[in-house]
Amino acid sequence: MTAAYNSMSNRIQTRTVSVTSGKGGVGKTTLTVNLAQTLAEMGKKVLILDGDIGLANIDIFLGIRPQKTLDDFFNGDETLENILVKVQKNIHVLPSASGLTDLQSIDVYKRKMLMDEVSMLDNTYDFLLVDTASGIDENVQYLNSTVQDVLVVITPEPASMTDAYALIKLLNQNKKVCRFSMVANKVLGEKEAKDIYRRMERVTSRFLNISLNYVGYIPFDPKLRQLSDQNIVNRARPSAASSIALKRIADSVIGEQELGEINGSLQFFWNQLLDVA
């Protein structure tokens, strides 16, 4: 931890954000990686947790090969700090454990060990971005219930909107999540994005007791689907429309961080992850 961060004991605590979707193929992981890069370029320190246990691909997108995971920590082989993978300045990745959904069953000693080490990471990162799996299964609901901000990625496809509503409904009914944000991806422009938001907001406000916040949109960009560094669009093409759109989304996310919340921080996230039913 640098001296600059040690001297900022009263700084805003880590904002925890999940990036999630009701179906696959909507660009969820691409958004996670590009949002992390955009925040990092704005001077924010970001920690990414790959929450897609069955098909982890954050490492592929970022071109890294983690040698250790959370499994090694719980086996007593490594410290949490040694598991972290530095991708570049201001971006680290915490490789996930194979049994992430079983964390609530670990013994008291290991829980305390984890929380002690997490407390040392708090005030180091401005954001924790959790890239969940797609869909509505228990693992997806479980991870989304532990964060401050649930960021739902939706495309113009009818199936994407239908599945996003199903995910929001289940999180509200099963996990008591009442606050959501939405990003429209692969749209032609802001008009189409706002149309999607209005349709989602109309149905959620009619049938669910939640708030749905519009964060922004990303225009359709075929180059965002290319692998390796080309996934980092603001690095490869900083003047592209998608790069500008990501900057606006990052501004919105930072605005939410600056509002602050009592139940913030990495400690809160992991406490929820260990105890949530």
Closest alpha carbon to 185 in 30, 63, 18: 30
pTM of the model: 0.84
CA–CA separation, 276 vs 176, rounded Å? Answer: 11
Give pLDDT, residue 3: 36
Per-residue pLDDT of the chain (277 residues; tens, 9 = 90+): 343 334 344 455 788 899 999 999 898 988 999 999 999 999 999 999 887 755 557 777 787 888 888 778 877 888 888 889 999 899 999 887 655 555 556 666 776 777 677 767 767 899 999 898 899 988 788 889 888 899 999 999 999 999 999 999 999 999 999 999 999 999 999 999 999 999 999 999 999 999 999 999 999 877 655 534 445 665 656 778 888 999 999 999 998 766 655 445 566 677 766 664 3
CA–CA separation, 203 vs 209, rounded Å? Answer: 11
Give pLDDT, residue 31: 92
The amino acid at residue 34 is N
CA–CA separation, 219 vs 196, rounded Å? Answer: 13
Domains by residue range for the chain, with CATH:
13-275 (3.40.50.300)
Report the interhelical angle of 241-259 vs 28-41 (nearest 10°). 70
Give pLDDT, residue 242: 86
CA dihedral sign, ordered 125, 126, 132, 134: negative
Instruction: Identify any residues that bridge with 15 across adjacent strands, giving them in sequence order.
Output: 127
Give pLDDT, residue 209: 93
Phi, psi of 47 (to 5 degrees): -115, 125
Give pLDDT, residue 122: 64
CA–CA separation, 15 vs 27, rounded Å? Answer: 22
Instruction: Identify any residues that bridge with 90 across adjacent strands, giving them in sequence order.
Output: none
Give pLDDT, residue 184: 97
Closest alpha carbon to 268 in 120, 96, 146: 146
DSSP 105-160: GS-HHHHHHHHHHHHHHTTT-SEEEEEEEESSSHHHHHHHTTSSEEEEEE-SSHHH
Give pLDDT, residue 207: 95
Q: Which helix (H) or strand (E) holds 83?
A: helix 80-83
Give pLDDT, residue 70: 76
Give pLDDT, residue 154: 97
Assign 3-state DSSP to the chain and report helix, strand, coil percentages, each to 5: 50, 20, 30
Report the interhelical angle of 190-207 vs 158-175 (nearest 10°). 40
DSSP 62-78: HT---S--HHHHHTTSS
